[in-house]
Copies of this chain bind each other. A is one copy, B any other.
Amino acid sequence: MIGRLNHVAIAVPDLTAAAEQYRTALGAKVGAPQDEPDHGVTVIFIELPNTKIELLYPLGENSPINGFLEKNPAGGIHHICYEVDDILAARDQLLKTGARVLGTGEPKIGAHGKPVLFLHPKDFNGCLVELEQV
């Protein structure tokens, strides 16, 4: 069911410093910051040959990243995103196995303009898992 690892999202306390570090210390291809007001984040994509890293920084007071950075002031890996072909079929299969889908259970349009769902971390080894239909 799951396909490619679409991205690993890392919440960072200083977006400029994190981007510069990936550019300079790790020599990676680092994009420009993009505000995503619908998702309460500013994102910088790091393009690796086989997948992406998303640096996440809070945008606005109600950012979903605020709580994470309060608990993890140095930052940390926020979620991983797996691609699926059919997000509703994936959701229904997951619900059958007892996994919980966050929110209403209906896909939302994610930061890449595609339908996404998040799965409850307690059901997935403490990892917040995003599914994205590609």
Contact = CB atoms under 8 A, between A and B. Distances in A.
A59 interface: no
Interface stretch (A17-25, A35-43, A109-117): A17-25
A6 to B, nearest CB: 9
Contacts of A122: 74
A134 to B, nearest CB: 11
Nearest to A48: B5
B127 A26 contact: no
Contacts of A3: 48-49
A88 interface: no
Interface string A8-40: 101111000010010011111000000000000
Given A2-B27, A51-B5, A13 B125 contact: yes
A50 interface: yes
A25 B82 contact: no
A128 to B, nearest CB: 9
A104 interface: no
Contact of A125 (B2, B18, B80, B123): B18
A62 interface: no
